[in-house]
Chain A
Amino acid sequence: MQTETNKGVTTARIVETRKLGPALRFVLALIVAIIVLLPVIWILSISFKPVEEWKADPPTLLPRRPILDNYKILFRIGNPVGTVREMVSSAEPVNRAFLNSLIIAPISTVASVLIGFCAAYAVSRYQVGGNFMPFFTLTTRMFPPAAFAVPLLFYYSWILRNYLKIDLYDTHLGLILMYTGFTVAFSLWMMKGFIDAVPRHVEEAAILDGASPWRVLFTITLPLVKGGLFATTLFVFILNWTEFLLALEFTSREAITVPVQISRYATAVGEFYGPKAALGIIASIPVVIAGYLIQRHLVTGFTFGMVRE
């Protein structure tokens, strides 16, 4: 897009010195990327290693006896070998966990970001709730989850079930509500930051022209903070996708999510790193895809008002 190209050129001109041209940037970025990748490579390596090599001494990058069993186990393909068989019976195939996560995470993310965005707009432009309310929402993030888990459990199982006849334990809706509720503070504060960075007079002009506030919100402000919106969405999605503690406490069969599933690959003898690594890798794929797709939207083509070229 025209504006984005201009923007890229202009800010690039500011930030880059004559020396720090694209070539140097590439090299630096590559170096950082490789450093970041090192642990990932190790996970991958583990996922293809049989049990005796997980803690082998000396450690090798490539498996001496590469196997696909770790992955096969996840999907209950074929006949797993040796000690792994014990574990298989205690954990379900990942299909259900994946399905659940694919339902719960996106729904709660969208809900969270939407609710957060609206509230952020209200706080930023109209100071709704003053200084207290937005701050109050942060308390959802301040409690150590361990402390919260027990009372919440109590709330869900006992109070809701007995007094309101609603059973949210081990349900999709139950998790969705919790995930939305616990991430909405993020959405609010992150979007607030981005909305604050947009000066108001474009919106004011539209309002004075007679546009309804809802229209202004969605047709003017939203596009301008598109980058922040996508960053927030990605982040909240990651939070929801990888959330562990609450899922652990609040699901048992029906609504288990992928992180919970990962934790179940263990026996009395020890942790099963192979399948855990394999599932970890697979579990990260949806997020990676999402991250890659939104990249183009992370930079908003922002100019005050309209650009006439």
Chain B
Amino acid sequence: MADLVHKPSQANATIRVSRLARIINKETNFQIALVAPLQLLLWFLLIVPTIVVLYLSIIAWQPILGDWTKAPIVWLKNYGDVLSDRVFWAALGRTVAVVTIAVSLEFIIGLGLALLFRGDFLAKRILTSVILYPMMLPWVVVGFTFYLLFLPQGPVNYLLRQALGPGAAVSWFKEPLLAFSTIVLADVWQWMPFMFLILYSGLGALPREPVEAAMTLGANRWHIFRHVILPMLKPIIIIALVIRALEAFKIFDLIFIMTDGGPGTSTESISLYIYRLSFEYQRLSYAAAMAVLILLLVTVITRIAIRPLEYHQE
């Protein structure tokens, strides 16, 4: 082959990079303009509250003790207390369980539906709107609806009795495991559409040509799905999972309305616990410390989860 065409390909690659680098430098103003609004907003919103929370977490203070500026600084004592709090660990574990199960279900069902909806069929638009509907209801409404549904005298038990006989009804909110399930069910019902939405538009945004190329190369549907579509979808899948998991982790409204943490504290999520500490027990410093710990934990895990999406120099 003529060497004119094929100077070592690395040279081509290098040329490309440096050309790009020159362009990037010319455009620093552009880049700054792009992110400036975001930065301004976040700093405005975040800094002071974060500082306040941090400060709160290192002092020993409750509102009944009076002025917070005079409260003694106890540094890491609150943190130590949190880490040795059994209730904290229980709530944390529970929350992780809810998140894992719920998000997995949402993902699988959402993906399945997204694939199903890729072709055209009768009343597709309407059915899509229906499936998206649960997301559009305020939490509170979803919460009390499922509460009413699972009441001992509610429709779910009613149907169970009809289908399986009088003994089939269960006290959904009296058994920890059952209460747990109702919450997972409510969450999946409400948020599966989110996964569906993201995956559906993700699938739609995929370029068709690699898929066509794969077809001409002889790949069948399954092979294309596994080796072409899924890898291209990967960034979107990861983001969808991360976003949803972050939200699910903070689950509060549903539990508050449906079970109020009960029976006992068996469905208390970490958010709920913090809420109780803040508003019912007024142990603000303690709650602040817990919040910071949670933040650290979530940060670390998210960081690991996002790693595949990061940019590397090559």
> Which A positions have Cβ atoms within 8 angstroms of B?
6-8, 10-12, 14-17, 20, 22-23, 25-26, 28-30, 32-33, 36-37, 39-40, 42-43, 46, 54-59, 61, 115-116, 118-119, 121-123, 126-131, 133, 135-152, 154-155, 159, 177-178, 180-182, 184, 186, 188-190, 192-194, 196-199, 204, 207-208, 213-214, 224-225, 227-228, 230-231, 234-235, 238, 241-242, 244-245, 258-259, 262-263, 271, 273, 276-277, 280, 283-284, 287-288, 291-292, 295, 298-300, 302-304
Contact = CB atoms under 8 A, between A and B. Distances in A.
A37 to B, nearest CB: 6
A12 B120 contact: yes
Please report whether the interface of chain A is mostly helix, strand, loop or mixed according to DSSP.
helix
A33 B232 CA distance: 28
B264 interface: no
Given A29-B127, A128-B34, A144 B250 contact: yes
Nearest 10 interchain pairs by C-beta: A147-B291, A299-B204, A280-B141, A57-B153, A122-B34, A151-B49, A181-B45, A287-B136, A12-B119, A151-B52
A129 B142 CA distance: 39
B38 A42 contact: no
A288 B268 CA distance: 32
B309 interface: yes
Contacts of A242: 136-139
Given A135-B306, A276-B141, A291-B132, A146 B52 contact: no
B205 A152 contact: no
Contact of A39 (B125, B149, B309, B311): B149
14 contacts: A15-B115, A20-B119, A32-B113, A40-B134, A59-B158, A115-B38, A145-B252, A146-B252, A149-B278, A178-B45, A194-B236, A227-B204, A235-B197, A242-B138
From B35, B113, B140, name the one whose CB has the most chain A CB atoms within 10 angstroms. B35
Contacts of A228: 201-202, 205
A292 B202 contact: no
Nearest to A36: B131
Nearest to A3: B208
Interface in B116-165: 116-125, 127-142, 144-146, 148-149, 151, 153-155, 158
Interface string B219-242: 001001100010010011011101
A142 B298 contact: yes
Contacts of A138: 242, 246, 302
Given A46-B145, A147-B287, 17 more contacts: A14-B221, A29-B131, A39-B142, A123-B35, A128-B31, A135-B303, A137-B38, A142-B246, A181-B44, A193-B202, A207-B23, A214-B30, A242-B136, A291-B136, A299-B204, A300-B204, A302-B206
A202 to B, nearest CB: 10
Interface range, B side: 35 or more
Contacts of A288: 129, 133, 136
Interface in B15-69: 19-20, 23-24, 27, 30-31, 33-35, 37-38, 41-42, 44-46, 48-50, 52-53, 56
B88 interface: no
A194 B203 CA distance: 10
Contacts of A304: 207, 209
Contact of B274 (A57, A59, A146, A225): A146
A159 B208 CA distance: 53
Contacts of B140: 244, 259, 262-263, 276, 280
Contacts of A155: 48-49, 52
B180 interface: no
Contact of B133 (A7, A23, A40, A231): A40
Contacts of A178: 45
A12 B121 CA distance: 11
Contacts of B31: 122, 126, 128
Contacts of B194: 235
A147 B42 contact: no
Contacts of A39: 134, 142, 145-146, 149, 189
Contact of B225 (A15, A129, A224): A15
Contacts of B284: 150
B310 interface: yes
